[in-house]
Amino acid sequence: MDFFNKVGSTISSKSKDVTKKAKEIAEIAKLTGQIAEKEESIKGAYIELGKYVYESQKEDAPEEVAEKFAVIDAAVEEIEGLKREVRKLKGRQECPDCGKEVSYSAAFCSYCGAKLPEPEPEEVVEEGEVTEVTEEAAEAAEPVETPAEETAGAAEPAEEPKTEEI
């Protein structure tokens, strides 16, 4: 019986150790979660602070941050250009008054009623249209004869390339 008592007390002490370790691991996980939450809060505060400083000192930026401000300005301009391209591809435009997306062909904003600018006509170059002819372009337009064409066309005079003058 002594053997079974020893095994029972060993199992009991080991289970207490496991329970203690599990509680420690749970407490560590809880504290780690709280740390991550506070770090995320700090990160958000840094972002808000940076945005405030950028917006309030944009015009009179100190030399130390002027380069960073220029990077932000360039990125904002590029993003706006890309957004305009996306809207144009979707057949949409941004209302200059309320900022909502509306149809490119609309005369008035369906959200605020503001008059929308007339769509700019797209520059269309039709296939085969010549916009400018230079000597280099005329020379490049001359057809290159293949060996079979050379023997077949030996008796025929070569035609001058046809170009349109503007």
How many Å apart are CA 15 and CA 141, to the nearest integer? Answer: 90
| Both tokens assigned to 110 | 């369906």
List, for residues 19-41, the tens digit of each pLDDT value: 999 999 999 999 999 999 999 99
List, for residues 121-155, the tens digit of each pLDDT value: 655 556 655 555 555 555 555 555 555 544 444 45
| Both tokens assigned to 76 | 């904002």
Residue whose token pair is 């066309």: 153
Contact at 8 Å (CB) between 163 and 142?
Answer: no
25 burial via Cβ count (<10 Å: 0-12, 13-18, 19+): exposed
